[in-house]
């Protein structure tokens, strides 16, 4: 079996952008090529494009050939789009790695993004209603994420004593981590007082407990090891393994609101494939769409025991210098969350951490993990990268 | 590298259906399990869902976990959607095969479909405008396919002497091939006189030169060879290789209207990976969205020389008993074309031909090919299956 390496990554400026979807994709592609001056668009034989809301927010589908054309890429082995809502970007990376491992392609760019702020500002919220099971959940008020995640938070607080202050600490940490991330949506620290007194979205979730709506795109390039050696002058980063699990879609079939069984399955499958344990992870980017999400992810990724997530953030275990620094570039809470790009941004931050050239560096990081979730905690995607294969 | 086999396939009734999208997916999944009584939903560790128009025509995205739930599948390794417009179904099969080959999954269902007839009948045509590059092509009247393919036909007629009668012969053949396909949209033969006198869509294309709008879904199951041996009692069919190429998206960048360069590249890559030549293909399902498409595909797949496509159909070379029977179950022209399902339907017909249990059997078929195109002839997907690996 061929080994797969990640050899470049870059993103455009994220935030509220006066630009079209195709502008964002072009800027991200350009930034990716700027990260690696050896590789050119002619080296790329595969393109995977990720976007969740392109049909409705940009009225443009068949996006893969369009993006290929605008980046001057002429893929001869694969040119397609993938979608798994909030986990779209990491899904693209899984597909690209499999295509390379299997010999179907040698050098694949994965690029994802969204233009969510439209002149019709209601478009993104309206479209989000299509993401839940609209026959069964949207009618219950679970069409948009905040009510569902507020229910998760309430339940976690009741079962395990997690506090609103602990939720706030996640956003304080991630805002601090994002301070020097020049491409992220926010570069402002917040204090506990500001977070606790912010307006409610759906109680107990307040403004800073929720990631924002974001325009943005990001790109990453994967290659077979034998090609990668000649296509980069930076340290090689290996794709070690991944998994993506789903046990339910509609809320009525969810096994548990506070233990995300599909995440536990995906994590275990990914750890097995990468031949590592949770204790081996040096740095992680997890899906902090809401502060409560990151707390549950500490638990279900195996960084701590069930119910200890609140304590994990409070004790600084997920901060620099702690057990496993999480969301070192600011995560969704500070960088923003253009669905198709998020998993790719996470991958970029992990490869920088493993190469040793991150903006905020975790010293000596050798193994990194990314996690995305989509829907009502329905599908979970876990990817593991390493500086070595063993 | 692991070998990949196809071990089951089935589709729901295609046509104008009084059913929701999720009904169609459930029926197709059920039909697939009925084709193979040994395999159950518990054996499946990956699900790839294909749909091009789900966001707009069914107002439902995040379709993969939804379909998994409705089929009782709990994927622990992959659960995602792919999209490449008209080539969505075959793109899903490529991804599934790569995931299995690479060891990321063992048994993957690929299921695709569309519910295109909505109470708002304009929805499908309006949505189709999002498929072309809407900044550059839709404004030129090339947003919907017929004008573009009419231009292709005119040019091919001018350059190579292809006739309207030869176009008609493609639909006559495919309607005849579809006569006994109980799940297809049409089961009616047409005559040359009927075809030639049908109303114009965009001249020279008339009614029977164009595939219809179709509701439908189809499903197929792929597995690693070592699993496949225990999961079917029918002859094994191997996935031998595939490729997908794209050289342009907007019409202004198209290298040629009548020679589909991206198809030639995809075909050559797929032949190389499968270690076969065009002369080895015993049966093919090609993308006959319009009659002119099938004629050009004979040429660019290498079944005949450039310009000889009209002669190829007229001489019966693509009919039963000819050089390579094409669209043996009726193709898009008779079966219909629910985008996400078409490539899967083609795969089902090929595995039946190779197993020897097709409704209209090509005697002794050992190697089969499927082809899809998407957009303004922009992206082309070629898959090759075989009864053996050599």
Residues of B serving a catalytic function are 86, 337
Please give the distance of CA B315 from its chain centroid, rounded to a whole number. Answer: 24
Cα torsion B194, B197, B199, B205: sign: positive
pLDDT at A302 over 90: yes
Chain B residues in contact with A247 (beta carbon < 8 A): 74
Say how far apart CA B152 and CA B143 lie, in whole Å: 15
- SS3 assignment for A182-231: CCCCCCCCCCHHHHHHCCEEECCEEHHHECCCCEEEEEEEEEEHHHHHHH
Chain B residues in contact with A74 (beta carbon < 8 A): 245-247
Q: Looking at CA atoms only, how far is residue B49 from chain A in angstroms?
A: 10
pLDDT of residue B140: 81
Number of cross-chain residue pairs from A and B with Cβ atoms under 8 Å apart: 222
Spatial contact of B272 and B280, defined as CB atoms under 8 Å apart: no
Exposed, middle or buried: residue B158 (CB in 10 Å: 0-12, 13-18, 19+)? exposed
pTM: 0.97
Chain A residues in contact with B129 (beta carbon < 8 A): 59
pLDDT at A144 over 90: no
ipTM comes to: 0.96
> For the residues A313-331, what does the mean pLDDT come to?
98
Domains of chain A plus CATH, in order, are 4-119+213-237 (3.40.47.10), 139-211+240-386 (3.40.47.10)
Q: Looking at CA atoms only, how far is residue B177 from chain A in angstroms?
A: 30
Which of B60, B77, B84 is facing A130, going by the closest CB pair? B60
DSSP annotation of B39 reads: -
Q: pLDDT for A332-371, tens place per residue?
A: 999 999 999 999 999 999 999 999 999 999 999 999 999 9
A86 belongs to the catalytic site = yes
Chain B residues in contact with A240 (beta carbon < 8 A): none
pLDDT tens track of chain B, all 390 residues? Answer: 899 999 999 999 999 999 999 999 999 999 999 999 999 999 999 999 999 999 989 999 999 999 999 999 999 999 999 999 999 999 999 999 999 999 999 999 999 999 999 887 777 888 888 889 988 888 888 888 999 999 999 999 999 999 999 999 999 999 999 999 999 999 999 999 999 999 999 999 999 999 999 999 999 999 999 999 999 999 999 999 999 999 999 999 999 999 999 999 999 999 999 999 999 999 999 999 999 999 999 999 999 999 999 999 999 999 999 999 999 999 999 999 999 999 999 999 999 999 999 999 999 999 999 999 999 999 999 999 999 998
Omega before residue A204 within 30° of 0, cis: yes
Ranking A55-64, A158-167, A295-304, B64-73 by mean pLDDT, the lowest is: A55-64
pLDDT at A233 over 90: yes
Exactly one of A12, A86, A210, A211 is catalytic; name it.
Answer: A86
- What residue of A is the nearest CA neighbor of B126? A59
pLDDT band for position A118 (cuts 50, 70, 90)? confident
Best mutation target among B26, B74, B83 (most A Cβ atoms within 10 Å) is B83
């Amino acid at each position: 079996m061929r080994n797969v390496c990640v050899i470049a990554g870059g993103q455009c400026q994220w935030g509220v952008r006066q630009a079209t979807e195709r502008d964002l994709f072009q800027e991200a592609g350009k930034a990716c090529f700027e990260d690696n001056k050896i590789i050119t668009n002619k080296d790329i034989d595969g393109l995977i494009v990720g976007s969740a809301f392109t049909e409705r927010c940009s009225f443009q589908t068949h996006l893969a050939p369009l993006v290929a054309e605008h980046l001057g890429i002429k893929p001869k082995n694969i040119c397609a789009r993938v979608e798994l809502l909030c986990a779209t970007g990491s899904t693209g990376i899984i597909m690209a790695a499999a295509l390379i491992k299997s010999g179907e392609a040698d050098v694949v760019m994965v690029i994802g993004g969204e233009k969510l702020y439209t002149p019709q500002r209601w478009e993104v919220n309206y479209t989000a209603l299509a993401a839940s099971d609209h026959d069964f959940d949207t009618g219950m008020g679970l069409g948009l994420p905040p009510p569902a995640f507020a229910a998760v938070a309430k339940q976690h607080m009741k079962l395990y004593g997690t506090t609103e202050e602990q939720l706030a600490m996640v956003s304080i940490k991630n805002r601090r981590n994002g301070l020097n991330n020049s491409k992220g949506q926010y570069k402002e620290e917040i204090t506990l007082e500001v977070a606790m007194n912010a307006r409610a979205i759906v109680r107990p979730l307040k403004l800073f407990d929720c990631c924002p709506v974001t325009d943005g795109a990001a790109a990453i390039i994967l290659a077979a090891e034998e090609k990668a050696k000649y296509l980069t002058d930076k340290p090689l980063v290996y794709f070690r393994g991944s998994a993506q699990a789903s046990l339910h879609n509609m809320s009525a079939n969810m096994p548990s609101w506070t233990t995300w069984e599909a995440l536990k399955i995906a994590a275990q499958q990914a750890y097995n494939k990468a031949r590592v344990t949770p204790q081996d992870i040096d740095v992680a980017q997890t899906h902090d769409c809401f502060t409560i999400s990151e707390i549950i992810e500490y638990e279900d990724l195996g960084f701590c025991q069930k119910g200890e997530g609140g304590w994990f953030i409070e004790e600084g275990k997920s901060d620099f210098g702690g057990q496993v620094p999480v969301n070192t570039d600011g995560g969704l809470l500070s960088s923003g969350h253009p669905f198709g790009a998020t998993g790719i941004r996470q991958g970029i931050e992990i490869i920088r951490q493993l190469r040793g050239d991150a903006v905020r560096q975790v010293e000596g990081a050798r193994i990194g993990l990314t996690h995305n979730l989509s829907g009502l905690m329905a599908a979970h995607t876990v990817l593991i990268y390493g500086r070595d294969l063993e």
